[in-house]
Structure 1
Amino acid sequence: MTRARFITFEGIDGSGKSTQSRLLHDHLTGTGLPAILTREPGGAPGAEDIRRLLVEGDPDRWSPETEILLFTAARRDHLERTIQPALKAGKTVICDRFADSTRVYQGAARGDLRTLVDRLHDAVIRIEPDLTFIIDMDPDAALARGLARNSGEDRFEDMGAAFQHKLRAGFLALARDYPSRCHLIDGNRSANDIATDIRAITQATA
């Protein structure tokens, strides 16, 4: 890889995307490639403040419409302060979640709001990843893993198994909608096996 790219990881809660984004970052930096690892919601001071509003508390704390506005505000801050400066500096950006999560969580699973999500994205974000990995795994197993972390950031896990199944369907549909950049990865395997596949795809698409 010789050019800076924007690479994102997506998937349901507990799918292992955070682990895989870290492993890819460590691999790339280990080969001498300038890269940063970031996350959403968050990735910048203001966006991290908004993160706490979104991932903590009662599942009914916000309506889907309010969530979309909060996620978009956090994403704009993240874009301005972290993603764009890194890309301009020639660094590859590896991000744990981006706009695809809002398309699935609020745009499909939480309500039929995809049009609103896309309109806001087109108005204030206006960037898509170069490469997206969607880690796909059994929703029930992923939910058990996510809840076992007991991180305190489990607002979406607390929405239950049926919600996680809706999310999986949404991510599978997303992979079909964006085949040129989205790669579906079998997450029901060891972390090392998954990471090997991701490294190979990253290199092949460079």
Structure 2
Amino acid sequence: MVASQELHTAFQKLVSDESQRGLIITIEKEALVPSTTLPSNSSSFDGDLPLLTPHLQPKTALYIILRRYPSNTPAPFIAVTYVPDAAPQINIATETMELASVTSTPISALPKTISNSAPRYSFYRFTHEHAGQTQSPILFIYTCPSGSKIKERMLYAASSRSAVQVAEAEAGIKVEKRVEAGSPEDVDEESILGDLHPKVEVKKAFERPRRPGRK
């Protein structure tokens, strides 16, 4: 993700112009671009905060730079990342959640069924043996490869909780464990078993050493 030349120009204007309270930034074609500026309508920072309200939408992520103090003071600006917990709209073009595939696979082969170039949500029934019993919890797995596009990462990060809520409310799926990983290759049986059944360490009581000469 790169800052556009327009953003550099807009930020320089913000620094030099005390009549501006802030700068709102959005993402277009993998670049940060200025969306609009906020005027300084009052003498106080708190008094100008309501100016943000019309720009905060439930499905649009923003970066915001606000003037907290005069430009001639140390650290005059604060930066805010606004990522709303939007409804699950994941198809980047149509902004809808879609089913990619349904498959039956052992957990050892699960990473091969998940995209390694784009974020994905996966619901996986993990049937396994533990303490002499067969268990089949449903896992919600959120993977986000480092090479995926910034807009994809922001949409998936903002919508993961909503995806679980929709699955539970509309499909009757009870998610027993949430798993987050970068690459699908990071999802393996050992780590999942460790999360589901953490080992409990039994601490031994401290034994005072016996005095010499005593039995």
TM over 0.5: no
Higher relative contact order (CA 8 A, sep 6+): 1
The structure whose Rg is larger is 2
Structure (1 or 2) with the greater strand fraction: 2
Structure 2 length normalisation: TM-score?
Answer: 0.23
